[in-house]
Structure 1
């Protein structure tokens, strides 16, 4: 296996390993540090040898032993250390080549832990994305429109709060889920949004999309009478249904309106439609159901041959009342441009402009697109350059570069 292949396999194993370590040792920093130690060992040991078939199990055991070593050296948590199994006599971690241990799936439990009410609301989703999903701090900071150092401090404070408040590392009983559920849903939504930006699967979040799909499906099974849980599950299913159509042969991102809808997954679209029907029958609407309805309207292009942009604009008008914010406003402006023309859409985009949103890549990209439609090639090129300076994922970068060439020609 190449070093790139080994790195990708390690990234894929990270969420399960870190979640299991955090559940065992009840310390998020220890879990992350132990995993980092195990990765360093793996990169040395498997540089010139094939990794074990169960790399995740290998990393779990290696990290667990390194954590126990850390605890012994620091002479703390004696009771916890005593409860851990000793390594077999004579066993040397540098010579172990295979562990068959199966890692327990602790991720959904750890998400609920990271969304404990004792943690500041603005830190819950960020902490979960960092610890459970392994999203780099700079990516999380960009998603929340804050500077990376500020986000790093927020994460440090949240971890300290878990330690200081004695937050139990256990899934709360169902009657206490309500106080954490909105944070859990927001975390899964943001995690999926980060994965969705990476159309080509080239970033560390490459496996996050299918993982969020699995977790939202699991949550919908646990809470089948919560319409917003069903709405989020449907939203993720509709996003994943388009995965095969999101990049071209050159690896360049394809916008939704230009995708080959024959490549969309009918099974996932049908499953999402059924989830939305169940949610509607419960009679309590909410933002996740509205977002899913918008994506289902897009999905109907496969059967109807056209996109009902007027219906999408009406849905965004409802959504922005329930959830005002830049993401919804930008998407609404794009829909408005489809219905009333590029000038109306650009006016809506420009009305959002401030120093903070100018650092938000989707705003720059949407503005560039609408300027190009209006014939302002120079303004569009400048906006595309600004979008490219804001660290897009590889597939989006290729798309933006192509658009920049078009407007600069």
Structure 2
């Protein structure tokens, strides 16, 4: 039941927020509905529908108690029969994309837009969002709280913006979905509070590409999502440990999804508007050439990362570029690139320590590699990644 409720969260919260025009009320009502669902003595046939109807009732009660919008509330029809529970409103999936555009309003700071959208629409926990942005949890809580307050203070409408405003919000929308996919990808098992996140990102990416067929980056994102999801069945070994991309069994890759990603990238490049999503898609498709019995072209991947880093100079891309550099040339070259990064800022960033540990091990610097693996494990990775990192550290010997 807990997993079903977590999967239902994005749909229900988005629908409630769009209906009541209040993000806090939507989240509080959903939380109360979940508590009620977990106390139900009999199985709930449709957890999403049940929580929507229950949360809607709780939200209406909360507004009545606060004596706000009494006339509007009095006109709201109550859901009184099981028919209301069973016929969960189908327009709700579209509410998520609508709310995503609202959260990405230009009145909000870019990182605040993305963080708010991740929390509200995608249901990502604040600790996970904080790690993705390399900030402390209290800082991220403050950003999300301020963003919600700004939406209320600026009286931002809970309506899909007119088409003329879509382009101005598209970048933040794309980055939100890309970040959500990255968070889901970190959890190789696909269990826990990120369960269902990758399929939801894919659904929204498909809808976004349909909504904006002249936006190359929308198709670039769709290509990235398709290729990344093509590898899901190869990401765990028999012991539940994460399997890195370079070691995955390509027989477990989904060739249909890879082809869908290639078509999406072709559609993007035909629009002749280059962007970072398309470059990232090209990187993933270069890795995917292994399905055609072709070795990984690390020098091509390095060139693509050079281009991506110029477009988006972030620590994550710089780390991935360093790994590509190590495979194209030498581990020492990769380590030199990592040494150029701000180690203090990345002290709590697990991928930095994991990449450094791997390159140190490949360079034969066992003691330093062990220390780097310990640093990565101290940052509490997901269970599958922890198993992998522990095995790599143990393989170094005493």
* Band the TM-score falls in, shorter-chain normalisation: over 0.9
Q: How many residues align?
A: 395
The CA distance in 1 between the partners of 2:354 and 2:3, in whole Å, is: 29
1:56, distance to aligned residue in structure 2 (A): 0.5
Contact 1:72/1:81, CA 8 A, preserved across alignment: yes
Instruction: Give 1:329 deviation, angstroms.
Output: 0.7
Aligned-partner Cα distance in 2 for 1:77–1:386 = 53
Aligned to 1:76: 68
- Matched with 2:174 is 185
Shift, 1:318, TM fit: 1.1
User: Is 2:51 the counterpart of 1:59?
Assistant: yes
Q: Is the 1:202–1:393 contact (alpha carbons within 8 Å) kept by the matching residues of 2?
A: no
Taking the aligned partners of 1:79 and 1:369, their CA distance within structure 2 comes to 63
Aligned 8 A contact 2:258 2:288 in 1: yes
| Residues 102, 378 of structure 1: alpha-carbon distance in 2 compared, 3 angstrom cutoff | same
Equivalent residue in structure 2 for 1:29, among 14, 24, 30: 24
Question: Which residue of the partner structure matches residue 354 of structure 2?
Answer: 365
CA distance in 2, matches of 1:87, 1:288: 43
Q: Please report how far the alpha carbon of residue 97 of structure 1 lies from its aligned counterpart in structure 2 after TM superposition.
A: 12
Alignment partner, residue 20 of structure 1: 15
Q: Do the aligned partners of 2:223 and 2:262 also contact (CA within 8 Å) in 1? A: yes
- Identify the match of residue 293 of structure 1 among 259, 278, 282: 282
Match of 1:99 among 53, 78, 85: 85
Please list the CA deviations of residues 310-340 of structure 1 after superposition, one character each: whole Å capped at 9, or x if unmatched. 1111111111111111111111111111111
**Shift in Å, 1:87:** 5.3
Secondary structure of the equivalent of 2:192?
A: coil
Aligned to 2:263: 274
Conserved 8 A contact 1:203-1:393:
no
Distance 2:100 2:349 in 1: 27
- The TM-score with structure 1 as length reference comes to 0.94
Query: Who is 2:340 aligned against?
Result: 351
Which residue number corresponds to residue 33 of structure 2? 38
Any runs of at least 4 consecutive aligned residues in structure 1 with deviations exceeding 4 A, and if so which? Answer: none
Q: Deviations over 1:173-194 (max 9, x none)?
A: 2111011111101101101110
* Aligned pair partner of 1:401 in 381, 387, 390: 390
Q: Aligned match of 1:127 in 102, 107, 116?
A: 116
CA deviation digits over 1:251-306, x for unaligned, max 9? 11100000011111111111111111121122121111000000000001110331
- Of 129, 132, 135, 1:146 maps to 135
Q: 2:244 aligns with which of 232, 242, 255?
A: 255
CA contact (8 A) 1:124 1:183 kept: yes
Look up the SS of the partner of 2:85 in the other structure. Answer: coil
The aligned counterpart of 1:200 is: 189
Distance 1:31 1:79 in 2: 20
Q: How much does 1:80 deviate?
A: 2.7
- Structure 2: distance between partners of 1:353 and 1:123: 23
Q: Distance in 1 between matches of 2:234 and 2:54?
A: 39
Q: In the alignment, is the contact (CA less than 8 A) between 2:53 and 2:79 conserved in 1?
A: no
Q: CA deviation at 1:99?
A: 2.2
Partner of 1:3: none
Shift of 1:98: 8.9
CA contact (8 A) 1:192 1:208 kept: yes
Are 2:365 and 1:376 aligned? yes
Secondary structure of the 1:347 match is helix
Query: Structure 2 vs 1, CA of residues 98 and 108 (structure 1 numbering), >3 Å: closer, same or farther?
Result: closer
Return 24-33 or 114-123, whichever deviates more: 114-123
Deviation at 1:408, TM superposition (A): 4.0
